[in-house]
Structure 1
Amino acid sequence: MGAQRLDAFDLQHAIPPGALVPPESWHTKGVLTIRSADRVTSRLRAIAATRFALCCLASTLLAGDPAAAQRPADTVILGLAAPATSVDPHFFNAAPNAQLSAHVFSRLVERDARVQLQPGLAESWRAIAPTVWEFRLRPGVKWHDGHAFTAEDVAFSLARAPNVPNSPGGYGSFLRMVKQVEVVDPLTIRLHTKQPHSLLPTEIGYIAIIARHAAQGATTEDFNSGKAAIGTGPYRLLSHTANDRTELARNEAWFGPREPWSRVTLRFLGNDAARTAAVLAGDVDLIDQVPSADLARLKSDPRVAVSEIQGLRLIYLQADFSRDGMLPFVTDGAGQPLPRNPFRDVRVRRALSIAINRQALAERVMEGAARPAGQWLPPGVYSHDPGTPVPPFAPEEARRLLAEAGYPEGFRLTLHSPNDRYPNDARTAQAVAQMWTRIGIRTEVAALPWSAFSARSARQEFAMRLLGWGSTTGEASYLLANVLGTYDPSARRGASNAGRYSNPALDALTDRATATLDPEEREAMLRQAVHMASEVVALIPLFHLVNAWAARSGLRYEARMDERSLAMGLRPAP
């Protein structure tokens, strides 16, 4: 069989089960050249075998690293796929930042590996009136510099969190219902809400508590330098080098159980092969986002122990709704800007959604490390809507919808994606681009490092973007308030709504749901909101990740639904 020129990457028909077209054969203009299916499969197997062999060779070389061999037994290094953009715990609501913050700073309410609420700096909490929550604080807690922790620090933190300058997506939405913060005494604080708000303890658990005496007037850079990074968490900050590593030391005065690790290094290893090699060599003790291409082999390798759990993170696509007229990175077939924003038309959004073969993405691009999604919560989670299925793969219907919307010849589009933030993020974007090209939306992919991508996305510089969102509250309102809520800093809504989608009816339903104290009534409203968002294709869900970690032999990691990689979850194997 000779070479074939395909108009698109048709995962359902052109590629047999088990085969995965390697990234180096993808063209950003959405055209792919392959040879026979058998030869593609053979080549991929050879690539995978060679890649793993190189990892093993690299691990052998790394094993000879004197620094690795001489590390004390009570020190650990975590190899992380995505870097934190700041030490400032209020700067950016992103998982890499939150996992760094969790080592240094504490919260009133914490969450365990299955996102269940646990006491933190607050020993207890209760609603003493329909719109008043009281938190009793833990006595005897000290800041890393020895100062006493009090309710004044809590009040200061809650005032600062929504107001960090230049934040690309902060924490204001968690405090949108808080009307007044009342310091009753040094160990008691009351939060008065605008209306009954059942989720306040859950939401307050996202706000890191910082030291008033150290952070008064401090900038985000003061946290990055360590000057203001004084916490009450299990580890103290020693140093932070952007896009490289963060060094931590055990907090001997921590109020929780004594940590077994005297020193912790959070090391950024964005390259998948490098992470695999590093853990096989023992150069690092734990890696996250285990590369899907290596997962099966690592599970059978005695040098490591793999832990997995169904995650809460949705990988999705979000269009730009911030303007009615011409969009950047969208043109007609001749390269001329379109006079209006095509994504304002729900028929276009539906066409883009049903042109995607989600099962193929999950099975082949993600190699089984994901589950197809039609909404942002996986089955079995509170407020998942059984009446909102995974959208069908229907490319012919997609073409009809495009023609009905006035685009019978389609148009040109650039899909922007990070290339170092989520597992297979750029590869997923490439596959989606090929599927869209097949229905006439000739799509190019621009993949950027997360640090650059996140800043540009927050400024609405993209027409279409690939993103991820982990609903770590374990319910639907977290995304509704942050990602789909109308962007309104004064109302502290829509902090992570990079596409600037706005639906007042959806906002109102979200508010009614979160004000409903009865859990069954609240769940019914949230399911209604999930279905409403799906019907209008407010975002395009792709799949939910399965979270995986690999620890070196002799260690075990407690897999977390919120995907955080924490030294506090790494322990010697029993």
Structure 2
Amino acid sequence: MRFHFKAMLGAMAALALAVPAQAADLKLALSSSPSAMDPQFHNLGANLNVAQNMFDTLVRMDADSRLMPWLAESWRVIDDRTWEFRLRKDVRFHDGTKLTADDVIWSLDRPATLVNSPAGFGIYTRSIATKTAVDATTLRITTNGPYPLLLSDLSVIYILNRKATEGLAAEDFARGKGMVGTGPYRFVSFQRDDRVELARNDTAWGTGPAWDHVSVRFIPNNASRLAALLSGDVDAIEGVPTADLAQVKANPKLVYAQKVSGRLVYFYVDSGRADTPQVTARDGGKLAKNPLADERVRRAMSMAINREAIADRVMAGLGYPTNNLVPETLFGYDPTLTVVKFDPEGAKRLLAEAGYPDGFALTIHGPNDRLVNDAQIVQAVAQMLTRIGIAAKVETIPMASYASRGAKGEFSFGLIGFGSQTGESSSILRAIIACQNPKSGGGLYNWSHYCNPQVDDYLTRALATVDDQARLDLLRKAAHLAVTTEAIIPLHFQATTWAARKGIAIEPRTDERTFAASFRPVP
């Protein structure tokens, strides 16, 4: 998607939702369990996959990451700092109360008040200066300055029922309190690391949900998840294992869908701390300084990775090597950032030049249930680094634990993925590249602890620029400087595959989200 600010001014669109021929039940298997049920507590893909079934946002990204009206049926720009939103008048919460502008204001205020969030949603509300209810279904928002990404930011914030959630802590939601949304399905029950049970919302706005009941199961093991589909234990799954794609495609009882995502799969490299926890000398002794703080070391590590081999052998053709932050279909892509050439001999020379002719030792961390073949990627890169003198050990763990520990700074070098939530590169720049700043919300996922004031300057200016070309130039400058100074080590964009039993249609998404509305029964 190419996001153009001017094209979105006063945007309105007719909303067309699929109408099922008849209702049925859906048993859906996901790869990761949520770390929290509070839809505003932890900005994590596994959490969003669950929340999207029960909660709505003012604006939504469609399957191709294009903005569309949702709870807000229309909006207009009054001046360069003031926006007015009109809410749909036919929307009710699951408890029967009507959605009002006061609920929206509460929902936009709340993220900044949540404590102990490992990565919250406050970054998406910090641009807002004031919020005013003009009437029950009209909301006026002013921003701190010209801000072209307000609509995109609002597509990330779930709207809650103020009466049902005021005074609740994040952990209360896991017990069913506050689970009162406007989405197509109502909360029934939650068993941590096992499943979420949902029921059809009979008062849902629009044309209503496709399913009577939805059971969302969490099955981290790829083989077990596919086996559940093949046995009929579940009706649909995400993350079809690459090794089993041919089997799925050839099975007449199954259907599948595939899409290249906007999720960047990359390695964070702890360059910002003088002492990093998972790096030692080869004999296990303490090093005088953090070698990852040296740009030459980070570049050597990048040059040691054979991205083409990973794409072909580990990803079975479902990885698309890159040195960019976003794919070429998204605003902010920089065509001058070409894929880093595999050069192990050059990498060895850089290590020696940096003062590490004999290398050092480190532990590579990564999830084992979130990205396509994530554990295998980590193993492959460990072998590649070993060949240039870096003795690499591997530790992969479930994503929920990985996200929590990573946010606490427990790791030095590891695999992770991040997709643009705004449809352009500013989202990923703010989250994983910008200097860590609790006040501004920058660097929430900056596990590299990288900080370059010039990159932040380019980004800050881009976020306040409404001219498309000027903003594009600034975003490209920020990305180019960050990537060429090895803020992170980009690897590839992944293609994601979903599968279901015959009789179910699948809508694949570039953001890789998987929820009940992604599936509908067909004759």
What's the TM-score, normalizing by structure 1? 0.86
Residue 491 of structure 1 aligns to a residue in which SS? coil
Q: Deviations over 1:480-513 (max 9, x none)?
A: 1111111112112222222322112111111211
2:71 is the counterpart of 1:140: no
Q: Deviations over 1:441-466 (max 9, x none)?
A: 11000111222211111000111121
Corresponding pairs, count: 502
Distance 1:178 1:501 in 2: 27
- Counterpart of 1:559? 508
- Counterpart of 2:491? 542
Q: Deviations over 1:293-317 (max 9, x none)?
A: 0112211111111101110111111
Distance 2:422 2:486 in 1: 23
- Counterpart of 2:204? 254
Q: 1:457 aligns with which of 385, 406, 430?
A: 406
What is the CA distance between 1:289 and its match in structure 2?
0.8
Q: 1:494 aligns with which of 437, 443, 449?
A: 443
Distance 2:113 2:324 in 1: 31
What is the CA distance between 1:163 and its match in structure 2?
2.9
2:317 is the counterpart of 1:371: no
Distance 1:141 1:90 in 2: 20
- Counterpart of 2:346? 397
Equivalent residue runs for 1:168-187 within 5 Å: 168-187=118-137
Residues 318 and 465 of structure 1 are in contact (CA less than 8 Å); yes or no, is this contact kept in structure 2?
yes
Q: Deviations over 1:502-559 (max 9, x none)?
A: 1121111112112111222212221222211111111111111101100111111011
- Counterpart of 1:31? none
Equivalent residue runs for 1:263-302 within 5 Å: 263-302=213-252
Distance 1:338 1:159 in 2: 45
Q: 2:475 aligns with which of 526, 544, 567?
A: 526
What is the CA distance between 1:134 and its match in structure 2?
1.5
What is the CA distance between 1:322 and its match in structure 2?
4.5
2:261 is the counterpart of 1:343: no
Residues 137 and 187 of structure 1 are in contact (CA less than 8 Å); yes or no, is this contact kept in structure 2?
yes
Distance 2:513 2:92 in 1: 25
Give the letter for the 2:460 counterpart.
D
Distance 1:73 1:122 in 2: 27
Equivalent residue runs for 1:437-456 within 5 Å: 437-456=386-405
Distance 2:129 2:294 in 1: 37
2:306 is the counterpart of 1:357: yes
Residue 35 of structure 2 aligns to a residue in which SS? coil
Distance 1:535 1:133 in 2: 37
Q: 1:427 aligns with which of 356, 369, 376?
A: 376
Distance 2:170 2:191 in 1: 14
Equivalent residue runs for 1:381-392 within 5 Å: 381-392=330-341
- Counterpart of 2:8? none
Q: Deviations over 1:38-83 (max 9, x none)?
A: xxxxxxxxxxxxxxxxxxxxxxxxxxxxxxxxxx971001111111
Residues 312 and 378 of structure 1 are in contact (CA less than 8 Å); yes or no, is this contact kept in structure 2?
yes
Distance 1:247 1:489 in 2: 35
2:192 is the counterpart of 1:242: yes
Distance 1:256 1:320 in 2: 47
2:45 is the counterpart of 1:91: no
Residue 352 of structure 2 aligns to a residue in which SS? helix
What is the CA distance between 1:380 and its match in structure 2?
2.5
Give the letter for the 1:427 counterpart.
Q
Residue 522 of structure 1 aligns to a residue in which SS? helix
Give the letter for the 1:569 counterpart.
S
Q: Taking every aligned residue pair, what percent have the same amino acid on both sides?
A: 44
- Counterpart of 1:218? 168
Residue 489 of structure 1 aligns to a residue in which SS? coil
Q: Deviations over 1:405-434 (max 9, x none)?
A: 111111000011111221211111010010
Residues 162 and 492 of structure 1 are in contact (CA less than 8 Å); yes or no, is this contact kept in structure 2?
no
2:144 is the counterpart of 1:194: yes
Distance 2:362 2:25 in 1: 48
What's the Cα RMSD here?
1.3
Structure 1 unaligned regions, length at least 5: 1-71
Q: Deviations over 1:242-261 (max 9, x none)?
A: 11100001111111212120
- Counterpart of 2:521? 572
- Counterpart of 1:125? 75
What's the TM-score, normalizing by structure 2? 0.94
Distance 2:272 2:357 in 1: 25
Residues 23 and 210 of structure 2 are in contact (CA less than 8 Å); yes or no, is this contact kept in structure 1?
no
2:516 is the counterpart of 1:516: no
Give the letter for the 1:153 counterpart.
D
- Counterpart of 1:483? 432
Q: Identify the range of structure 1 (352-361 vs 153-162) with the bigger mean alpha-carbon deviation.
A: 153-162
What is the CA distance between 1:344 and its match in structure 2?
1.3
Q: Deviations over 1:112-143 (max 9, x none)?
A: 11011111111112221111122111113111
Distance 1:342 1:389 in 2: 25
Give the letter for the 2:520 counterpart.
R
Q: 1:319 aligns with which of 266, 269, 286?
A: 269
Residues 279 and 287 of structure 1 are in contact (CA less than 8 Å); yes or no, is this contact kept in structure 2?
yes
Give the letter for the 2:335 counterpart.
P
Residues 173 and 494 of structure 1 are in contact (CA less than 8 Å); yes or no, is this contact kept in structure 2?
no
Q: Deviations over 1:356-381 (max 9, x none)?
A: 00011111111111111111212232
Residues 84 and 140 of structure 2 are in contact (CA less than 8 Å); yes or no, is this contact kept in structure 1?
yes
